[in-house]
Amino acid sequence: TSLDSTGMNEFAFFMLLSSITVTVIMRADIWLMGFYLDKSQIGLYSVASRFTLPLVIVLGALNTALWPRASALTYKTKITEIISTTFRISILVAVFGFIYAIIAPFATPYIFGLSYREGVLIGQILCLRYCISILICPLGVIGYSFGFIKVYWWVNIIQLIIVVAGNVLFLKHFGIIAAGLSLLAMEIIGAIIIAAILVK
């Protein structure tokens, strides 16, 4: 029996809701920092964000590779096999990503100058956020084939609330670190919810 009864128009509608929410999440930190922090802090954050580019590329590649395989997965017979295989790959990639996340940002003062040396920690936090994304990527993509698009959009809403609340409450006190930790918390909580949904 097929596990996904979502029609094409219904899928497109929920995908649109999810995409809009994710787009807002991706910009919310910058918008709020522009209100609460000075430009020098935003510049530091922007420089630190550049270290995430390799991880963003890897995440995009994983999504591209998984989508065609997951789109054909609508029956229970193959679910264990594909989740097991792809999750092992994601763990391996995430481990290398974690090593990169810890080491690479230390190059900040050497690449961008000593005035940016305070960006090392925020760079590590932002990179770790994408390591979590890489780890949970297979579960998220596979979930689309089982009609979870109807659920994912409100998971994204929860993530948006976490990012906005974290920034509004803590930016004044902790600066850009609050923005990074809000994104990290968003990814961890989102990963836990998606994993719990898929297991159920």
Task: State the CB neighbour count (10 A cutoff) for residue 82.
Answer: 17
- pLDDT score at 4: 53
Q: Within the chain, where are the H helices?
A: 8-36, 39-49, 53-71, 79-103, 108-112, 119-144, 149-174, 176-199
Q: How confident is the model over 95-135, as pLDDT tens digits?
A: 999 999 999 999 999 999 998 989 999 999 999 999 999 98
Q: How confident is the model over 161-171, as pLDDT tens digits?
A: 999 999 999 99
Evaluate the CA torsion angle 55, 21, 156, 72 in order and state its sign.
negative
Give yes or no for a contact between 115 and 101, defined as CB atoms under 8 angstroms apart.
no
Q: How confident is the model over 43-72, as pLDDT tens digits?
A: 999 999 999 999 999 999 988 888 776 666
Band of pLDDT at residue 20, cut at 50, 70 and 90: very high
Query: pTM of this prediction?
Result: 0.88
Structure tokens that stand for 52 in this block: 């995430």
Place of tokens 């390591």: 131
Q: Is the per-residue pLDDT at 2 higher than 60?
A: no
